[in-house]
């Protein structure tokens, strides 16, 4: 669990950094595309971790 939380926190921070860099006025189109692709990867990682957590919570709730 600690490993996933660490990965989630790291991925979220990287996603936030990418979001900020995409808003920069001096970013080239090529760099923007690369940043966007990387951002999608981090978004998917975060989404998968959150879905896993939701499933675990639902399982625990059903057991009560």
The angle subtended at Cα 11 by Cα 48 and Cα 13, nearest 5°, is: 140
Alpha carbon distance 17, 35 (integer Å): 10
Domain ranges of the chain: 2-63
pLDDT at 62: 87
Residue-wise burial string across 14-23, b where 16 or more C-beta atoms lie within 10 A, e elsewhere: bbeebeeeee
DSSP 25: T
- The pTM (predicted TM-score) of the whole model is 0.77
CATH code reported for the domain at 2-63: 1.10.287
Alpha carbon distance 58, 61 (integer Å): 5
Model confidence pLDDT, tens digit, residues 8-40: 999 999 999 999 999 998 999 999 999 999 999
pLDDT at 63: 80
């Amino acid at each position: 669990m600690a490993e996933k939380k660490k990965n989630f926190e790291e991925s979220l921070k990287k996603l936030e950094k990418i979001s900020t860099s995409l808003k920069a006025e001096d970013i080239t189109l090529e760099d923007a595309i690369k940043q966007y692709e990387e951002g999608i990867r981090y978004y998917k990682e975060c989404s998968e971790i959150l879905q896993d957590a939701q499933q675990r919570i639902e399982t625990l709730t059903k057991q009560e």
